[in-house]
Amino acid sequence: MNINEIIKTRRATPPRFLAKKEISKDRILQLLESANWAPNHKQTEPWRFKVYTGDAKQKLADEIYFFLNKKNESGESVNLQKVEQFRNSLIRVPVAIAIILERDIANRIPEWEEIAAVSMAVQNMWLTATEINLGAFWSTPQFLPILNGILNLGPRQKLLGFLFVGEIAMDYPSQGRGNINEKVEWK
């Protein structure tokens, strides 16, 4: 596929549409290598990733589940249905990559630019996944901001979600896009 075909073929493939089959480390590395070539301002390279597979992924799913249930018991409002759904997704998919933003030490760049750079890194991974016949899904549950402890994030790090990756068991229909002409003003 050429780049235009890859861009239009890429889909958000929900976890239940991904196969449980393990993915080789080699293929995961291809995604991460692509991520590392994303553009970024002042060479901060603000993307960090934690790759969860096998037992580590199961442990993460359990820790998140019990932590959030405890929060709920102690009176904090947590949507337990969403927590359960997230746990099931994490257990189901073969690979979950935590997407982390790391601010540079001097805060030279506004946060939004760093988020943009990390997002471009994610898109790079997603496009490479498409090229090598893997499906991916960016999951951003509401409770991300309270998971820092469980993921052992540093004070300059922020969790921007998880990229679930696996072989595509079943195609997920594209939602398509509205017409670009409605989003552009030519001057």
Ligand X SMILES: Cc1cc2nc3c(=O)[nH]c(=O)nc-3n(C[C@H](O)[C@H](O)[C@H](O)COP(=O)(O)O)c2cc1C
Q: Specify the residue, 65 or 126, whose C-beta has the smaller distance to ligand X.
A: 126
Name the packing angle between helices 111-131 and 25-35 (round to 10°): 140
Q: Specify the residue, 67 or 138, whose C-beta has the smaller distance to ligand X.
A: 138
Min CB(161)–ligand X separation in Å: 6
Distance of CA 36 to the CA centre of its chain: 15
Min CB(16)–ligand X separation in Å: 11
Q: Specify the residue, 183 or 187, whose C-beta has the smaller distance to ligand X.
A: 183
124 φ, ψ (degrees, to nearest 5): -60, -45
Min CB(121)–ligand X separation in Å: 12
Q: For residues 68-82, b (16+ Cβ closer than 10 Å) or e, as one string?
A: beebeeeeeebeeee
Min CB(158)–ligand X separation in Å: 13
Cβ atoms of 174 and 106 within 8 Å: the answer is no
Q: Specify the residue, 23 or 160, whose C-beta has the smaller distance to ligand X.
A: 160
Residues that bind ligand X (CB under 6 A): 11-12, 138-140, 161, 174-175
Q: Give the N- to C-terminal CA distance of the chain in Å, as an integer.
A: 33
Min CB(176)–ligand X separation in Å: 7
Min CB(159)–ligand X separation in Å: 12
Q: Specify the residue, 22 or 171, whose C-beta has the smaller distance to ligand X.
A: 171
109 φ, ψ (degrees, to nearest 5): -115, 135
Q: Specify the residue, 74 or 170, whose C-beta has the smaller distance to ligand X.
A: 170
